């Protein structure tokens, strides 16, 4: 049994301008996983690299039979890279690992063992050691625990999962950060393992502060999808009803002032108009959302039947 013939575990490796790190990373994969006791493959996605990543991967493919390569002509991000890698992977257990050598392949068996043993469906790595973005990562993890009730300490690290876990996770741009909370909401079992974090050996980090605002908006979007995605009327209907009631009471007050006391107060009239119109519009959004949610449920049911 060779790793290339029967892969039980597929490593999904997004790589953007990692030509300097890839040879050592692949060598360490062979060294650490060749004796791990399970078949494996390494699927590297060249995500629109502008350095020698393509040439390096071609050379590595000729040397390592377990290595497979997927190429994106332009940078599409980690979420799309993971989806492309999963389309090519054969393993029943998938592992997301970066190619920058901040995480070493020797820690991969600790991530996949609970899944292979049937103890968990998802395993997240908990970063050990100091790192530059600890403050931002701490805020992200704290918000996820608060909003989603996920008990894992670190959701923004390497992770392993059963292949079936991702079937119901929408891989929109940058939503790979929330794949764990979405999967847990679907009932999959989660655990974590400590994973050392090392300084980057070569290249530059792809994370910048510009991604933080988008990450916050994505967090709100995921929370809304999980909380109200299947019953949008709970959000839009309640908000619309509240605004409509405020407008109605304001209208009653305006009528009393106008005909009871002869006082005309135009700002109150404008408030009434705004509240009533806003309430009706939100109700309309709620009905449209219910129609979309119904179509999505029909689609999910059809996908379940095909399985």
pTM of the full predicted structure? 0.74
| Tokens linked to 65 | 């039979």
Q: Quote the pLDDT of residue 11.
A: 95
* Position 289 in a domain: yes
Mean of the pLDDT values across residues 258-264? Answer: 75
Q: What's the structural domain count of the chain?
A: 2
Q: Quote the pLDDT of residue 193.
A: 92
Q: Quote the pLDDT of residue 2.
A: 45
Give me the phi and psi of 172, to 5 degrees please. -75, 165
Please tell me whether residues 251 and 265 are part of one structural domain: yes
Q: What is the DSSP letter of 187?
A: T
Show the domain range for 95. Answer: 9-228
Please identify, among 187, 210, 228, the residue that sits at the C-terminal boundary of a domain: 228
* Position 92 in a domain: yes
* Position 3 in a domain: no
Q: Quote the pLDDT of residue 267.
A: 76
Mean of the pLDDT values across residues 270-274? Answer: 82
- In this predicted structure, the answer to whether residue 201 has a pLDDT above a threshold of 50 is yes
Please tell me whether residues 166 and 30 are part of one structural domain: yes
Q: What value does the mean pLDDT of the chain take?
A: 82
Please identify, among 205, 228, 251, the residue that sits at the C-terminal boundary of a domain: 228
* Position 285 in a domain: yes
What separation in angstroms does the CA of 65 have from each of 27, 88, 253, 258, 280?
A: 12, 15, 79, 85, 62
- Give the DSSP letter string of 217-244: HHHHHHHHHHHHSS-THHHHHHHHHHHH
Pick the closest to residue 231 from 187, 286, 156, 295 (CA basis): 286
* Position 2 in a domain: no
* Position 4 in a domain: no
Please tell me whether residues 92 and 203 are part of one structural domain: yes
* Position 135 in a domain: yes
Tens digit of each residue's pLDDT (9 = 90 or more) over 275-291:
888 888 887 888 787 77
Please tell me whether residues 54 and 174 are part of one structural domain: yes
- For the domain that residue 90 is a member of, what is the CATH number? 3.90.550.10
Does residue 120 or residue 151 have the better pLDDT? 120
| Tokens linked to 57 | 């991967």
Tens digit of each residue's pLDDT (9 = 90 or more) over 32-54:
998 888 899 999 999 999 989 99
Please tell me whether residues 16 and 36 are part of one structural domain: yes
- In this predicted structure, the answer to whether residue 216 has a pLDDT above a threshold of 90 is no
Please identify, among 228, 247, 264, the residue that sits at the C-terminal boundary of a domain: 228
Please tell me whether residues 21 and 90 are part of one structural domain: yes
What separation in angstroms does the CA of 266 have from each of 62, 71, 257, 272, 277?
A: 79, 63, 11, 10, 17
* Position 42 in a domain: yes
Tens digit of each residue's pLDDT (9 = 90 or more) over 133-191:
666 777 777 888 788 878 777 877 899 999 888 876 766 666 677 888 888 888 899 99
**Among 5-14, 107-116, 211-220, 279-288, the range of highest mean pLDDT:** 107-116
Tens digit of each residue's pLDDT (9 = 90 or more) over 60-72:
999 999 999 999 9
Q: Quote the pLDDT of residue 1.
A: 39
Tens digit of each residue's pLDDT (9 = 90 or more) over 218-246:
777 777 777 777 778 878 888 888 888 88
Please tell me whether residues 86 and 117 are part of one structural domain: yes
Please tell me whether residues 124 and 215 are part of one structural domain: yes
Q: Quote the pLDDT of residue 299.
A: 65
Please tell me whether residues 56 and 176 are part of one structural domain: yes
Please tell me whether residues 84 and 105 are part of one structural domain: yes
Please tell me whether residues 185 and 237 are part of one structural domain: no
Please tell me whether residues 17 and 139 are part of one structural domain: yes
């Amino acid at each position: 049994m060779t790793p290339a013939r029967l892969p039980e575990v597929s490593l999904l490796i997004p790589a953007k301008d990692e030509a300097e790190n890839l040879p050592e990373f692949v060598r360490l994969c062979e060294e650490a996983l060749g004796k791990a006791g399970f078949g494996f493959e390494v699927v590297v996605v060249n995500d629109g690299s502008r350095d020698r990543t393509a040439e390096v991967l071609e050379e590595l493919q000729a040397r390592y039979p377990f290595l497979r390569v997927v190429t994106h002509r332009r940078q599409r991000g980690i979420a799309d890279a993971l989806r492309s890698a999963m389309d090519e992977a054969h393993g029943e257990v998938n592992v997301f690992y970066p190619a920058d050598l901040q995480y070493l392949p020797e820690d991969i068996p600790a991530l996949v063992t609970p899944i292979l043993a049937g103890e968990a469906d998802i395993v997240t790595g908990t970063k050990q050691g100091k790192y530059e973005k600890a403050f931002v990562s701490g805020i992200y993890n704290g918000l996820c625990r608060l909003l989603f009730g996920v008990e894992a300490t670190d959701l923004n690290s390497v992770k392993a999962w059963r292949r079936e876990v991702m079937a119901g996770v929408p891989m929109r741009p940058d939503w790979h950060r929330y794949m764990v909370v979405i999967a847990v909401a679907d009932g999959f079992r989660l655990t974590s393992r400590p994973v050392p974090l090392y300084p980057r050996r070569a290249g530059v980090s792809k994370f910048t502060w510009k991604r933080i605002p988008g990450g916050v908006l994505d967090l709100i979007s995921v929370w809304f999808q999980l909380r109200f995605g299947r019953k949008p009327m709970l959000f839009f209907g309640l908000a619309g009803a509240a605004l409509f009631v405020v407008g109605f009471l304001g209208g009653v007050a305006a009528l009393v002032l106008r005909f009871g006391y002869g006082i005309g107060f135009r700002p109150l009239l404008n408030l009434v108009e705004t509240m009533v119109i806003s309430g009706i519009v939100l109700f309309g959004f709620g009905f449209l959302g219910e129609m979309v949610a119904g179509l999505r449920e029909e689609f999910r049911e059809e996908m379940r039947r095909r399985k």
